[in-house]
Amino acid sequence: MADIPPTKNNLSKDVEIKGSIKFVNEFVFDGNLEGEISSVDGILTVGENADVRGEVKSKTVIVKGKVHGNITVQERCELHSRSQLIGDLKAARLVIEEGATFVGKSEVTPSKNLAKDFSVPAPPHKEELQKVGAPR
């Protein structure tokens, strides 16, 4: 297990937890959870064997298994091809692969920096307006 960096946490498919999990950095969860997973600025991967029943809050969430509850992320949420999300989702960015199951409401609100990229272009400068006007 020397190839896994010390900032990455793993819980395998034979783990069952009732309660809440808090983590930092990266967390791969592949077991059964009845409760909450939360992180201020972490990256959560819900593994293919995982069954999470409860709230999920993190900076980034990658779902490959089942989540039965609401997901709230500050940045990006990915729902992979065989994933199931039964619950509401709030994210800045959302990726849904073909084959994913999602039953619930989604609220995708791009961050302020991303919103600037989609904003209405600035009006032309004064000089340009004079060129377009009728001849004098």
Q: Is 65:33 a contact under the CB 8 Å cutoff? A: no
pTM above 0.85, yes or no: no
Is 116 among the domain residues?
no
| Site of tokens 């619950």 | 87
List of residues 6+ apart from 30 with CB closer than 8 A: 10, 11, 12, 13, 15, 47, 48, 49, 50, 65
- For residue 1, what pLDDT is reported? 46
Residue 104 falls within a domain, yes or no? yes
**Cβ atoms of 67 and 89 closer than 8 Å:** no
Q: Which residues contact 49 (CB under 8 A, 6 or more apart)?
A: 13, 30, 31, 65
Per the structure, the count of domains in the chain is 1
Pair type for strands 106-108 and 16-22:
unpaired
Q: Is residue 1 assigned to a domain? A: no
Does residue 14 form part of some domain? yes
83 inside domain: yes
pLDDT at 132: 54
Token pair for 13: 């498919």
Q: What's the confidence (pLDDT) of residue 104?
A: 97
* Residue ranges in the chain modelled with pLDDT below 50: 1, 114-120, 128
pLDDT of residue 74: 95
